[in-house]
Amino acid sequence: MSNWLLIILAPLIVFALFEECIYYFVNRSLFGKVERRIHIIEKLKAFASKFKWKKRAEADSN
């Protein structure tokens, strides 16, 4: 029974550690040392909306 529990929980633990490492390194390298966690999804959405705005501005100028 404990082997199956280990097989099920091991990938979850590894994924959780991997996710925390990604958040730490991305926040540290891109945004310097910050107090609150910056979510990657929020930054991608902000970048996408900024790109859409630039595209719309270029279309309006033509």
Position 51 confidence tier, pLDDT thresholds 50, 70, 90: confident
Say if residue 56's pLDDT is above 70. Answer: no
pTM, two decimal places: 0.38
Q: How far is CA 15 from CA 3, 19, 22, 23, 29, in A?
A: 19, 6, 10, 12, 21
Q: Give the total number of structural domains in the chain.
A: 1
Q: How many residues does the chain have?
A: 62
State which residues form the domain around 28. 2-61
Of 20-24, 39-43, 51-55, the range with the highest mean pLDDT is 20-24
